[in-house]
């Protein structure tokens, strides 16, 4: 849909098309990762007993169903660093708790298949990540729409979730930082939903694909053991390497859960993927600690882009409802016209491609009809500023204002 609108743009010569519709990294992977990936791929077969990249990597061979042990160990160490306050706190996550997948969408599907079956229900806050909703539909599982509160900062509440619970409800899903809103859920909100999930004996599936782009110290403490608390009872953590390491085409995600859940996930993944693709695992695993500074730099760049977008759009009549990490959601000021129509004309006439937030909600939910999602990660600062200039001037350009 969005690509079709963009293809109809009438003035690509003087003002090139700016596509802010998809959440994709705007820069290449770190040079050290590119260099190591090339070595891994160019040495696809290792001599017997030699697993070093210089001697051959076996990157073309089958691997472990749940991913290479070295890569899983590397992820565990990064989780200790991220959730343990630079390794100051004990984090109860082991290699056996990790399954690597062909992207985070595959991790979500495997998680849902492990805890629910056809005819069951899973709670999704709205606006939702539409791939999650589509996955549930494919599996014959009913998504229960949990509206977020604009007044409460675009956050879902346990009070509203309580009204949705039935005997068929098997899980609730949180995406933080959120897609599409970009907002990071406070640790207190995540804890409330963790307790809610325990109370109702359902899984809390928490997708933290964008966790490396939040303000330091704002993540939750679910993985820290406490009296009368263990994440293992019901938490399933999802992660993607695509955004943090700028390698979406290599399709590598992760699912972290108690071993009892991983046992079921392993059976599912054996049918879905056999094993996750190995080149990125072999290249990235030894580099993870050295790339922490790069993650911090990328996070700072995204914060700067958010600032530029906010400042340029300020005072235009467009409302920035929420933002953070890769995304922002904005509300157009034009009366009597839908967000879908505005997005279509922004793309085809102004050369700025956005996604209507109606794509992230049930078809009968009109609360988001005037809203749209912006990805600030796709382009550099000057191009993003130009996109914001076109958006703020779109009222006159499209004839909505005199």
Tens of pLDDT along 106-145? 999 999 999 999 999 999 999 999 999 999 999 999 999 9
Confidence at 24, pLDDT banded by 50, 70, 90: very high
Give yes or no for a contact between 346 and 352, defined as CB atoms under 8 angstroms apart: yes
Distance CA 255, CA 186 (A): 22
- Provide CATH 3.90.1150.10 ranges for the chain: 1-29+292-398
- Provide CATH 3.40.640.10 ranges for the chain: 59-286
Give yes or no for a contact between 110 and 269, defined as CB atoms under 8 angstroms apart: yes
Confidence at 86, pLDDT banded by 50, 70, 90: low
Give yes or no for a contact between 176 and 194, defined as CB atoms under 8 angstroms apart: no
pLDDT, the chain, mean: 93
- Rounded mean pLDDT, 4-24: 89
DSSP labels, 282-330: HHHGGGGGGGHHHHHHHHHHHHHHHHHHHHHHTTSS-EEEEEETTEEEE
Whether the predicted pLDDT of 54 surpasses 50: no
DSSP labels, 155-199: B--HHHHHTT--TTEEEEEEESS-TTT-PPPPHHHHHHHHHHHHH
Architecture of the CATH domain 1-29+292-398: Alpha-Beta Complex (3.90)
Task: Say which DSSP state 240 is in.
Answer: E
The domain over range 59-286 is classified in CATH as 3.30.460.20: no
- Rounded mean pLDDT, 314-322: 95
- Crossing angle of helices 259-272/104-115, nearest 10°? 120
Give yes or no for a contact between 392 and 316, defined as CB atoms under 8 angstroms apart: yes
Asked if residue 364 has a cis previous peptide bond (ω within 30° of 0), the answer is: no
pTM comes to 0.94
């Amino acid at each position: 849909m969005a690509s079709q609108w963009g293809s109809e743009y009438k003035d690509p010569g003087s003002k090139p098309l700016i596509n802010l519709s998809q959440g994709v990294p705007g820069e290449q992977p770190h040079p050290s990762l590119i260099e190591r990936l090339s070595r891994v791929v160019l040495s696809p077969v290792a001599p017997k007993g030699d697993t070093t990249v210089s001697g051959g990597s076996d990157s073309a061979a089958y691997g472990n169903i749940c991913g290479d042990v070295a890569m899983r160990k590397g992820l565990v160490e990064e989780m200790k660093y991220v959730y343990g306050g630079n390794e100051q706190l004990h984090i109860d996550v082991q290699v056996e708790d990790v399954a690597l997948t062909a992207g985070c969408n595959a991790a979500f599907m495997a998680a849902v298949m492990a805890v629910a079956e056809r005819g069951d229900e899973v709670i999704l806050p709205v606006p939702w990540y539409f791939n999650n909703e589509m996955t549930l539909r494919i599996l014959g599982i009913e998504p229960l729409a949990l509206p977020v509160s604009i007044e409460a900062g675009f956050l879902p509440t346990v009070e509203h979730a309580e009204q949705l619970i039935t005997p068929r409800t098997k899980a609730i899903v949180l995406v933080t930082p959120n897609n599409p809103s970009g907002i990071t859920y406070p640790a207190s909100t995540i804890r409330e939903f963790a307790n809610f999930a325990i109370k109702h004996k359902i899984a809390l599936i928490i997708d933290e694909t964008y966790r490396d782009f939040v303000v330091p110290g704002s993540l939750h403490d679910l993985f820290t053991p406490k009296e009368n608390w263990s994440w293992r009872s019901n938490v399933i953590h999802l992660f993607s390497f695509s955004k943090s390491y700028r390698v979406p085409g290599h399709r590598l995600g992760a699912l972290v859960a108690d071993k009892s859940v991983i046992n079921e996930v392993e059976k599912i993944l054996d049918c879905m993927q056999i094993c996750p693709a190995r080149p990125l695992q072999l290249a990235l695993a030894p580099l993870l600690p050295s790339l922490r500074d790069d993650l911090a730099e990328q996070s700072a760049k995204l914060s700067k882009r958010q600032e530029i977008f906010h400042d340029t759009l300020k005072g235009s009549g467009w409302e920035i409802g929420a933002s953070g990490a890769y995304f922002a959601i904005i509300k157009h000021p034009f009366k009597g016209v839908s967000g879908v129509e505005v997005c279509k004309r922004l793309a085809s006439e102004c050369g700025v491609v956005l996604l209507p937030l109606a794509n992230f909600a049930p078809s009968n939910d009109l609360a988001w009809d005037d809203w749209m999602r912006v990805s600030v990660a796709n382009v550099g600062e000057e191009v993003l500023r130009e996109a914001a200039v076109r958006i703020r001037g779109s009222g006159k350009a499209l004839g909505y204002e005199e």
